[in-house]
Amino acid sequence: MAYFDAASTEPLHPQAREALIAALDVGWADPARLYGPARRARMLLEQARTEIAEALGARPDEVSFTASGTQAVHLGVLGTLHGRRRAGRRLVTSAVEHSSVLHAAGIHERDGGSVETIGVGRTGVVDLAAFGEAVLAGGTALACLQSANHEVGTVQPVAEAAALCAEAGVPLLVDAAQTAGRMPPPDGWSVLTASAHKWGGPAGVGVLVVRKGTRWRTPLPEDDRERRRVPGFENVPAIVAAAAALRAMAAESAQESARLSSLVDRIRREVPRLVPDVEVIGDPVARAPHIVTFSCLYVEGEALLTELDKAGFAISSGSSCTASTLRPSHVLEAMGVLTHGNVRVSLPQGASGTDVDRFLAVLPDMVRRIREDAGVRT
């Protein structure tokens, strides 16, 4: 099986596996206690915190660990809104944010707050002028902008948006799930979230980073863990493995990201040449190195994925978080592109050119057969 769904989850990095197994033996105790095994667990936890902070461009005391990237986003959005209630109740967000941001925004609206959603162009880049105008409006408590889109890979102008937010005195939350470990951390954010299983760490570890000076209050009942930001017992072995994976991926990223990006360029170039009536989606240049999305006219994405699965390819369609529903992707709708017959190829570390060549070889005939079965000839 050729695994091409790294945007959903990256396979566990070998160094993460080694670190996890070792930490299960020595990092199992409660890091909040004072006896020997607990002190050892605390040391491992704080070392992992320091390593992850360094990779993300933060201070260790700004980093907290959550149970998932989704929980990190929920706490980041709702906690900052809660901490800045006196500043106002307006939330500004782009139309292509991850569903976790949109769901948190929905909670905020039901609580009496307001949300302004900023549109994007056909490549998925946020309308920066509209974004800047929105954050300048009175009563804006928080703005959200992802580092790169999880469905189409388009990189957002985070540094420029951050400058607009700084001018308005509004904190910016950046969801960096698709770029942490793969690309340099963006500049100018006030709150940053990420998810370990996206960079080759284990599932069940999210990262919430709140810059010093950013007003933040937990929207949950307080706990003594994780600087009172995140309730519950820390999963020290998993956090240690997450740090090992991030350290390894960041060290490999310059060379590996360039290699993966060249494979993505090949897919972007060859698919429209080989398959009629195909739209390749997302910015061709300002993009994450591992993601390419295309839509095939007259083809149901699920049917194509089933055929690809039979041929030995693990690939997703549309949003990885809404693939089990019949609802069209909100990202593709916001971009004004084809919302059906959508295929997202996201290459993991180590993906081979041979597998990409095989994918390009089998795809045209699959699309042709599905179209013929539907009574369409191209």
Structure tokens at 356: 């990409």
- Do 29 and 255 form a contact (C-beta atoms < 8 A)? no
Task: Please count the CA atoms within 13 angstroms of the CA of 330 that sit on its side-chain side.
Answer: 18
| Nearest-angstrom CA–CA distance, 71 and 60 | 19
| Nearest-angstrom CA–CA distance, 370 and 278 | 14
> Is 165 among the catalytic positions?
no
Neighbours of 354 (CB within 10 A): 9
| Nearest-angstrom CA–CA distance, 227 and 122 | 42
Judged by DSSP in three states, 283 sits in coil
Q: What angle is formed at CA 129 by the lines to CA 176 and CA 87, rounded to 5 degrees? A: 70
Q: Which long-range contacts (CB under 8 A, 24 or more apart) does 308-311 make?
A: 308/343, 308/359, 308/362, 308/363, 308/366, 311/362, 311/366
Residue among 144, 165, 296, 321 flagged as catalytic:
321
Judged by DSSP in three states, 330 sits in helix
Structure tokens at 377: 């000839």
| Nearest-angstrom CA–CA distance, 92 and 141 | 8
CB neighbour burial string for 301-330, b if at least 16 within 10 angstroms, e if fewer:
bebbbebbeebebebbbbbbbbbeeeeebb
Which sequence positions are flagged as catalytic? 321
